[in-house]
Amino acid sequence: MQLTLRQFEYFLALAETGQVSKAALRCNVSQSSVTVALRSMEQALGVSLFIRHSKGLRLTEAGERFVSHARNVTNAAARAIEDVRAAPSDMHGRLRVGVTETISAYLIPSVLSMAEQRFPNLRIQVVESDRPSIEQALMDGSIDFALLIVSNLARVDALEYRIMLQSPRRLWTPPDHPLQQKSKVSLRDIAQFDYVLLDMDEHVHTMEKYWRDYRLWPNISFQSKSLEAVRSLVAFQKGVTILSDLVYRPWSLEGRRILRSDVSEIVPTMDIGGVWRKNDRRTKSREALLDFLHASIKALAHE
């Protein structure tokens, strides 16, 4: 039996939402369509992709491995459609793009490679720095646009942006953590356990705001500027954390698993967008690259 692109899309929606109802809503189909598609995929592959539990679905080890392949399939299809629809590229010159460290690490390697293939005659220069420096570079014209976490922007009076990705923030724990047994996990529940805090790209400021909005505070046992250190500490049962799906990986560098859970309170998404100076002259090459990056980031994240 041949798997279809639609089945891959349903599978990814299930993997990302963990519930048939949410996956069906995202794909704009009935719940039975999603269930039938999943059953057919598992029969065709000869393995179980999900474990059913009271909260919904959780990926099996085979399912975790299959996610990356499914994303490759849907991304390749999206790029093929984009390439056929787009006119041949006649873009020339240079564009300077500012990024912060999160975007540099988790988006730029993939999207820059795709952009260079799509616009072979356009020189794309990436500049990594902290958000205040990137904003200043936009203001003085030393970069053409930036990819930033737009919720952190300070110069909103002088800058415009287009949101390209809204990545949910969820709880990360090791597989056998007590919080995985709860049907709903609240910030108050999380505050009872050691917490590993990522100190990167102004994440501390974001974390402080939503915890204080609920008049709560996590029991911070370790703070690190290294995302891989945070990932490993969670995997080795040294604490839990809340981070975005963009930077989630199901395995630590040591090969230990990490699971995600939704938090019952409203936790802000990580909103990444293209940013430029207000009233700046729009060039054909800049608009074409912004459109391409938007489509590519959306396909990579499957958001």
pLDDT digits (tens, 9 = 90+) for 180-211: 988 889 999 999 999 999 999 999 999 999 99
Instruction: Provide CATH code, domain 169-261.
Output: 3.40.190.10
Q: What pLDDT does 301 receive?
A: 64
What is d(CA 301, CA 303) in angstroms, rounded to the nearest whole number? 5
Is 131 within 8 Å of 202 (Cβ atoms)? yes
Minimum mean pLDDT range among 10-19, 124-133, 141-150: 10-19
Query: What gap in Å lies between CA 124 and CA 289, rounded to an integer?
Result: 9
The strand order across the sheet containing 145-149 reads 122-128, 93-99, 145-149, 270-277, 159-167
Strongest mean pLDDT among 2-16, 85-99, 100-114, 181-195: 181-195
Helices and strands (H, E) in the chain, number of each type? 11, 12
Distance from C-alpha of 292 to C-alpha of 118, rounded to nearest angstrom: 9
Query: Which has the closest alpha carbon to 165: 9, 10, 16?
Result: 16
Q: For 199-246, write each residue's pLDDT tens digit.
A: 999 999 999 999 999 999 999 999 999 999 999 999 999 999 999 999
For the chain, the average pLDDT equals 89
Give the count of beta carbons closer than 10 Å to the beta carbon of residue 38: 20
| Alpha carbons 234 and 174: distance in angstroms, whole number | 6
The answer to whether the beta carbons of residues 145 and 279 sit under 8 Å apart is no
In terms of pTM, does the model score above 0.75?
Answer: no
User: Given this chain, do its domains 90-166+270-301 and 169-261 carry the same CATH topology?
Assistant: yes
Region of poorest pLDDT, from 63-67, 175-179, 220-224: 63-67
Counting Cα atoms < 13 Å in the Cβ hemisphere of 289 gives 34
Q: Which amino acid is at 170?
A: R
Strands 219-224 and 194-198, bridge-based pairing: parallel
For the chain, the domains span 5-84, 90-166+270-301, 169-261
What is the CATH T-level fold of the domain 5-84, as seen in this structure? Arc Repressor Mutant, subunit A (1.10.10)
User: 90-166+270-301 maps to which CATH number?
Assistant: 3.40.190.10
Cβ proximity of 201 and 149 under 8 Å: yes
52-64 average pLDDT score: 85
* Predicted confidence band of residue 77 (pLDDT cuts 50, 70, 90): confident
